[in-house]
Amino acid sequence: MFDYHVHSKISADSKMEMKDACQTAIENGVKEIAFTEHIDYFYPNCELVFDFEYHEYEKSIREVEELFKGQLTVLKAVEIGIHPYSNKQSKEFTDRHFFDFILGSVHIVDDLDLHNGDYFKNKNVDEAIKLYFETINRYVKDYKDFNVLSHFTLIKRYLHFVNSHWKEVKWEKYFDVIEDTFKSLIGSSRGIEVNMSGYRYRLDCALPELPFLKLYRHLGGEIITVGTDAHSKHFVGKYLNTGYKLLDEAGFKYVTTFKEKKPDFHSIKEMI
Ligand SMILES: [Zn+2]
Ligand SMILES: [Zn+2]
217 has a pLDDT exceeding 90: yes
Residue ranges of domains in the chain, CATH in brackets: 2-267 (3.20.20.140)
Quote the ligand 1 centre to 150 CA distance (angstroms): 7
User: What pLDDT score does 201 carry?
Assistant: 81
Q: How many residues does the chain have?
A: 272
Report residue 203's pLDDT band, with 50, 70 and 90 as the boundaries. Answer: very high
Question: In 3D, which of 55, 57, 61, 109 has the Cα closest to residue 82?
Answer: 109
Quote the ligand 2 centre to 139 CA distance (angstroms): 18
Ion ligand 2 neighbours (CB, 5 A) are: 79, 229
Quote the ligand 2 centre to 227 CA distance (angstroms): 9
Distances (CA, A) of 104 to 123, 223, 228, 269: 25, 14, 15, 27
Quote the ligand 1 centre to 205 CA distance (angstroms): 16
For 132-175, how does the pLDDT look when each residue is reduced to its tens digit (9 = 90+)?
Answer: 999 999 999 999 999 999 999 999 999 999 999 999 999 999 99
Confirm if 78 and 102 have CB atoms less than 8 A apart.
Answer: yes
Quote the ligand 2 centre to 39 CA distance (angstroms): 10
Quote the ligand 1 centre to 151 CA distance (angstroms): 7
Which ligand has an atom closest to residue 78 CA? 2
For 220-256, how does the pLDDT look when each residue is reduced to its tens digit (9 = 90+)?
Answer: 999 999 999 999 999 999 999 999 999 999 999 999 9
Percent pLDDT > 70 in the chain is 100
121 has a pLDDT exceeding 90: yes
User: What pLDDT score does 252 carry?
Assistant: 98
Evaluate the CA torsion angle 45, 147, 211, 230 in order and state its sign. negative
200 has a pLDDT exceeding 90: no
